[in-house]
Amino acid sequence: MTVNGTKHNELRQLVRSQLELLLESSNLEGAKALLVPVQPVDIAEAIEGLPESMQVIAFRLLSKAEAIEVYEYLDYSVQEALIEEFKRQEVIDIVDKMSPDDRAKLFDELPAKIVRRLLSQLSPKERQATAQLLGYEEDTAGRIMTPEYISLKESLTVDETLERIRSLANASEIIYYLYVTDASRHLTGIVSLRDLVVSPSQTTLGEIMTRDVVFVHTNTDQEEVAKTIQRYDLLAIPVVDREDRLVGVVTVDDVIDIIEQEATEDIYALGGLQSDKDNYFQTSLVTVARRRVVWLFVLLLTNTVTGTIISSQKNLLQEVVILTAFIPLLTGTGGNVGAQSSTVVIRGLNTEEINDLGTGKVVFREALAGILLGSILGIMATVWAFWLQGNIYVALSVGISLVAIALLASVAGSALPFLFRSFGLDPALMSAPFITTAVDVLGVLIYFNIARFILGI
């Protein structure tokens, strides 16, 4: 079955509902036939959608090779459930054949007891590969790499290499790049399968390899790995250890997931949320509340400061009660201007678009934008305030405050992410909710002082 990308959602849903119907009527042959032309990732999704009791039955319909591929795509919870349902030997067969990086990810999620049991039953080679990956810190190149790659000596000819590949190919997740190493396993060059195929058969790898190799270390942060692959348009990047010996490869498909995950982290930070690698919609309500309440509490505290400032101006407000009507407009607009500036700067820092401009230049530019926007909006606000109230002094206080607040908000919004970064913190922490709340506090202070001055109170 060819799958048209635009229609794959509907197709997937069709496979899912059909599969359940066939299994309910115990038509196992029909179910088997249904799944034959379906892509592994889609089979995995269809199985996830089944009632738990049917998941094992559906999974057993697959051929062994297919089962391994599908298993890698399943959610951790389903992977774990299947492990418990399976006979010992079935589990080991599948887990033993998974790619080491996918297996390490699975082991991260499984209870320690099961991991120990599985590890002890893997073949020695696979056990060693997995233990090695699990030894690297989370979110590093070492943890996400696969230790399966093809490394060759540079004296090999093209023909000999092709021979080797034929005997090895099944063991290796990616063979689009071949790595050339010296006697002490140091990476000395790289040959793409493409270069290999187009070269005369007696040429040696040493003659056709590229010596300008881009690589990362096992302890390189995964975000850095992703950026490097993206920058150099690679399909995979070699990973070396502290002694510069080749130990693994990170492939582009894993990198795409990392880029999406990092973007989610940024987006969550901008929304005032702690992020986590779990699917948000599968975590418990208590976890959700716990992750949010800390941030809300910090913002609540800042808001109490605003309240305290307002309550300290009781006399002013009793005299000119209409002043309160404009507080939400001023703090709200200030917050929005600040959120815009901080969003632009945070994203710019994280995608490295901003790198070449200095802090000063960026903040100055945002300050100008703040004054410009503040002036436009200030004029509108003055007109509206005058229409609502008929008091030109109050209206002017509102308009002038708005310009000052917009300037303050854009400077704070653009400067604070830089400040955070210079302390080695994630600039996204200095995000919209925080800026908004900070601008509230300073905004009312500015407003009351300008109003007192203009109204002469």
Footprint on residues 133-162 left by a second copy (CB under 8 A)? 162
Q: Within a 10 A sphere around the Cβ of 49, how many other Cβ atoms?
A: 17
Q: Which is nearer to a second copy, 183 or 321 (CB)?
A: 321
Q: Which is nearer to a second copy, 110 or 317 (CB)?
A: 317
By CB under 8 A, which span of 51-59, 78-86, 90-98, 224-232 interacts with a second copy? 224-232
C-alpha span between 323 and 305 (Å, rounded): 19
By CB under 8 A, which span of 23-31, 56-64, 102-110, 307-315 interacts with a second copy? 307-315
Give residue 333's identity as a one-letter amino acid code. Answer: T
Q: Is 220 a binder of a second copy (CB under 8 A)?
A: yes
Is residue 330 within 8 Å of 402, Cβ to Cβ? Answer: yes
Q: Is 214 a binder of a second copy (CB under 8 A)?
A: yes
By CB under 8 A, which span of 20-28, 59-67, 77-85, 326-334 interacts with a second copy? 326-334
Minimum distance between the CB of residue 127 and a second copy, rounded to whole angstroms?
26
Q: Which two structure tokens, joined as six digits, stand for 129?
A: 């590969």
By CB under 8 A, which span of 84-92, 103-111, 384-392, 419-427 interacts with a second copy? 384-392
**Cβ contacts of 283 within 8 Å, gap of 6 or more:** 276
Q: Is 81 a binder of a second copy (CB under 8 A)?
A: no
C-alpha span between 70 and 443 (Å, rounded): 56
Q: Is 3 a binder of a second copy (CB under 8 A)?
A: yes
Q: Is 456 helix (H, G, I), strand (E, B) or coil?
A: coil
Q: Which two structure tokens, joined as six digits, stand for 262?
A: 């990092």
Minimum distance between the CB of residue 155 and a second copy, rounded to whole angstroms?
20
Please provide residue 248's backbone torsions phi and psi, each rounded to the nearest 5 degrees: -175, -175
Is residue 206 within 8 Å of 264, Cβ to Cβ? Answer: no
Q: Is 423 a binder of a second copy (CB under 8 A)?
A: no
> Under rule CB under 8 A, which residues in 334-373 are in contact with a second copy?
335-337, 339-340, 342-344, 346-348, 351, 353-357, 362, 365, 368-369, 372-373
> Under rule CB under 8 A, which residues in 61-80 are in contact with a second copy?
none
Q: Which two structure tokens, joined as six digits, stand for 394?
A: 């109050």
Contact residue for a second copy among 14, 65, 380, 392 (CB under 8 A)? 380
The one-character DSSP state at 6 is: G
